[in-house]
Amino acid sequence: MPTGVAMQDPRRQLFNAAKRILVRDGPNALTSRAVTAQAGCAKGVLHRHFADFDAFLVDLVLDRVGRLDTRADTLRAAVGTGSVVDHLTDALIDVFDPVGVAIVGLVISRDELRARLRAAGSTGIPVMNEASATLAEYLTAERDLGRLAPDADVAVLAPTLLGAGHLLFADREAGPPERETVRRTVTAVVAGVLREA
């Protein structure tokens, strides 16, 4: 980018560049040089907005975690309506879009990133933990309405759904599974507790 030309929302441009690299080339290809080259800016732009590259990665992951708030709102609005299986299927497809899968891979592959995320208050695997909490909240609300069995263990169901979903979506080379494959997996996980007509 030529000197003196202001970037519009440089943080967002850098995040978008990082996401493109993650999806296309995986976590190992993510470097400050690769991000700034993809964003079309000087390396100094990244360091003007973030203390260092790991601080950039922390904010990138937390930005993704913030996106889960939208999914949580969608699930809250869906409680008591439609199909529980369809709502859970849509949630898994959203959580494990190509960027979501890549972000989980990034967190798993970088020890320093996990340490900094823990220092920022995250536990376990960020994105997965928040997604699990979102699913547990939704499942609890559906259980309270009687659409799941009263003894449905949402604290087990939510991470089970996420684990099964992650296995379906984790193969970056094969691409995402068909919706029906995800739906069939969700159905198998919740079949024993589902009470909707």
Instruction: Give residue-wise pLDDT tens across range 100-143.
Output: 999 999 999 999 999 999 998 888 888 899 999 999 999 999 99
Three-state DSSP class for 136? helix
Instruction: Give residue-wise pLDDT tens across range 156-172.
Output: 999 999 999 999 998 87
Q: How far is it, in rounded angstroms, from Cα 194 to Cα 148? A: 5
Q: Which domains does the chain have, with CATH numbers?
A: 8-49 (1.10.10.60), 65-190 (1.10.357)
pTM as predicted = 0.88
Instruction: Give residue-wise pLDDT tens across range 63-101.
Output: 999 888 898 999 999 999 999 999 999 999 999 999 999
Q: Do residues 176 and 169 make contact, with C-beta atoms less than 8 angstroms apart?
A: yes
